Amino acid sequence: MDGKILVVGAAILDVLAEPVDERVFETGSSPADAITMRTGGDALNEATVLAKLGESVQLLTVLGSDPASELIRAHCRKWGIGLDHARTEAGVDTGINVVLVKEGGERSFLTNPHGTLRSLSAEHLEGDYLQGVKILCFASIFVFPKLGGRETARLFSRAKEQGILVCADMTKRKNEETVKDIREALACVDYLFPNYEEAVLVTGKRELHEIADAFLDCGVGNVVIKCGNKGCFVKNREMFFESPPVSSIRCVDTTGAGDSFAAGFVYALSQDMDLRTAAAYANVCGGLAVQRLGTTEGINNIVQVENAVKKYHSP
């Protein structure tokens, strides 16, 4: 599948501290083995992994005009991520998250709701940015309060009208939304990547088949449920399967693992691979991501990923 990939969503900085436990709030100071600054945000994470795998990637995001935005721009230059469609909002702080990573890799976030993290709106989605795009990745549903189901559906339908494959990640709902609230947008999605917890909340179901069916009933083409250390579950109207996790992983930091998973799957789609192989690439990218502190530091290049897939997956 020739052509570029457009990733739409947040690009921010993460300040990560690890390991951290609850006692940090009971003392004046607390030691951490590592405190680092990395790029982050669902869309930038996906774009970074795709670029590392050799894809031609453009990023549509919102940045401020501040030092934090310059660090993000420098990162994009380093990896060849196009910012032709990035929107600059003077006077708005570029998003910075503080990520507290617990022993074992689980994390909690401190976010600034007034920065660029959640500022993407319908106004930013105006213009001709879909020309030459083969795959649109939206990262992620429920991140942006100014983009409701109708506005998101408008973006997706524009892409579908131009023959673009639509992929969408999801984050945890913010206002008790259900699939009914985003049904119009879901009807335009070819590949949906919720994790299990997110999917349970928005569908009201707990069994994997029932969860997937709830999304399929809304018009989603393929449902790919991220199940953490259990791998993933894939279902469409013709088939379903479970793809096991990568074994022998030492989990350091789960930040960005879902984004890396989605990027691995999208990469495989861009190479016209079958669904089982796409799931393998996704699981490998997610597995590599959790072994290093930071969202995408565990993924180096396509050779590394292909070698890992060969060890893990037999078509």
**Average pLDDT over every residue of 33-61:** 97
**Average pLDDT over every residue of 158-163:** 98
Answer yes or no: is pLDDT of 295 > 80: yes
Q: What is the DSSP letter of 198?
A: H
What's this model's pTM, rounded to 2 decimal places? Answer: 0.95
Confidence of residue 160 (pLDDT cuts 50, 70, 90): very high
Q: What is the pLDDT of residues 112-155, one digit of tens each?
A: 989 999 999 999 999 999 999 999 999 999 999 999 999 999 99
% the chain with pLDDT above 90: 86
Answer yes or no: is pLDDT of 3 > 80: no
CA–CA distances in Å: residue 175 to residues 203, 216, 240, 252 = 14, 22, 31, 31
Mean pLDDT of the chain, nearest integer: 95
| Residue-by-residue DSSP string for 245-309 | PPSS---S--TTHHHHHHHHHHHHHHTT--HHHHHHHHHHHHHHHTTSSSSSTT---HHHHHHHH
pLDDT value at position 228? Answer: 94
CA–CA distances in Å: residue 37 to residues 17, 68, 92, 99 = 9, 11, 20, 10
Q: What domains can you pick out in the chain, each with its CATH number?
A: 4-11+41-94+111-312 (3.40.1190.20)
**Average pLDDT over every residue of 195-207:** 98
Answer yes or no: is pLDDT of 213 > 70: yes
Q: Would you state the torsion angle of the CA atoms of residues 21, 14, 11, 309, taken in this order, to the nearest 10 degrees?
A: -70
For 17, the 3-state DSSP assignment is strand
| CA 297/CA 291 separation, integer angstroms | 9
Q: Which residue in 245, 222, 225 sits closest to 170, CA to CA? A: 225
Q: Which residue in 270, 305, 314 sits closest to 134, CA to CA? A: 270
pLDDT value at position 265? Answer: 99
**Average pLDDT over every residue of 192-214:** 99
Answer yes or no: is pLDDT of 2 > 60: no
Answer yes or no: is pLDDT of 163 > 70: yes
Q: Which residue in 209, 281, 275, 278 sits closest to 246, CA to CA? A: 281
